[in-house]
Amino acid sequence: MVIGNLKKTAVRSAGINVISNSIGFIFQTAGVIVLARLLTPKDFGLVAMVTAFSMWIMNFGINGFTEYIIQKKDINTLEINSIFWTHLFLASLLSVCFILFGFFLVYFYKEPALSGISAVMASSFILYALFTCHFAVLKREMKFTYIASAQLIAVILSIGLSISAATIGLGYWAVVIRQLTLPIITVIAAWIIRPWRPQRPQNLLNALPALKYAIKVYSNFSLSYLSRNIDNVLLGKFHGSTVLGNYDRAYYLSQQPIAQLLQPLTSVALATLSRIRQDKIKFAAYYIKVVSTISFTGMAVTISFMLTAQDLVLLLLGPAWTETGKILMALIPALAATLTSGTNSWLYLSLGQPGRWFRWNIIATSFTILAFIIAAPFGAVAMGIAYSTKAYILLLPGLWYAGRPIQLSPKILLNSIWPYHSSALIIAAFWLYISTHWMPLSIFLSELHIIIRVALVACTATFLYISLVALFERSFKSVYDFIALVKLFFKRGDA
């Protein structure tokens, strides 16, 4: 690809992913609203007890083989074929093991329903293995429109099926159906979009380099996954499925902005950085620019989301989920830190250094587990506070360590994000104080319709945030940069 077109291709690809994910988010939110009113926190809690483990195992190969195919300079069809069959074999073996693991979950949580849920969820391991190579090749070719379309169709159809199941009274099985139909539909779409078909298994040793790379990447993913899900395991063990159900929905809502902003950019950034990694100056400039834009956008979302969290839960899920609103407010501060620190993996993977990523994750995961163990006996809100606190403690050390191989200056990294995080912190503290202690404002807000109150608070917080950022930067540079990227995405022309 011509270097001059790389930026436009990357931006437009990212924009396509973000827009697709945003549309998917609308449908997912609608599905969450409907399912929350048809099901109970216990229904979601039961499935969360299984998915805390099944999602971890299912991701073997997805996290590893995908990155290997994307970043490898030269790769042929024979090697991809070997990777496909290796992944499918391992996924089948893990599926059988997880069915047996379901009986341990019954003993651990004292919930008989978990064995059946585990048996059904185990089949998803095989399904994901059936389309991982197809999607990896499309990402390598930067054909993100096809992937985005397939994923969007899968999201919409799976939500429709799960709502239908809940309507006829299937309870927690409606949530399981949502989890299972998503990969089924994606497999069908992937095999239609990408005409490549695997040949018979042969020369599986060709997959050995990919397997070694995948194990390193998956080891990193496992540590990150452990730090993101040990809270679910501990809450389920200490407080049961109802408390876990409330926490699970709050965590889901708090992670959606991350899914809409960070996940669509990851594949694009990895493909782009891999192409320019020989030019350290251009590499560092690209990374800093993206991190700055993500932090600016992410903090705007975070501040608005945090200040409207309890009203949003009441509006969307209903009065039966009041506790979820309190938990959500405790979790949301971690959103911005997670968005920024989530870009660390781009550096490790594009530079071919999963080993360094693994060493950092050992430190981060150990600290996270300790924080969660301390918070677990005190309930879900305390767990949310612990989650947000550890995210900020680890933010700057993580950026510093990830940037060392390309001599990314800690000062430059800090300068690229501090105006946004500082502005959001000041606005949040200011608004929470005056809305609580200034009675005229408190009375005025309480008398508004909930939809108007949410819109007013979100718009006011965003306006104050942008104004303070501009004051710190002494310009509207961040706003102009964001608008320029949006214009570049919509600009017509060959990518």
pLDDT for 21 equals 66
The reply to whether the predicted model has a pTM over 0.75 is no
Question: b vs e for 68-88, b when ≥16 Cβ sit within 10 Å of the residue's Cβ?
Answer: bbbbeeebeeebbbbbbbbbb
Query: Which residues, in sequence order, are CB contacts of 437 under 8 Å at separation 6+?
Result: none
pLDDT digit string, tens, across residues 352-380: 777 788 888 888 888 989 999 999 999 99
pLDDT digit string, tens, across residues 54-66: 888 888 878 778 8
Give me the chain's average pLDDT, please. 83
pLDDT for 1 equals 44
- Whether the CB-CB separation of 136 and 349 falls below 8 Å is answered with no
DSSP state of 265: H
In Å, how far from its chain's centre is CA 451? 27
Residues paired with 61 in a beta bridge: 64
pLDDT digit string, tens, across residues 117-153: 999 999 999 999 998 888 888 877 777 777 878 888 8
Query: Which residues, in sequence order, are CB contacts of 224 under 8 Å at separation 6+?
Result: 361, 364, 365
pLDDT for 494 equals 41
- CA separation (Å) from 1 to 7, 72, 494? 11, 15, 12
| Tokens describing residue 401 | 């360590």
Helix %, strand %, coil % of the chain (to 5): 85, 0, 15
Mean pLDDT of 80-103: 91
Distance CA 83, CA 266 (A): 22
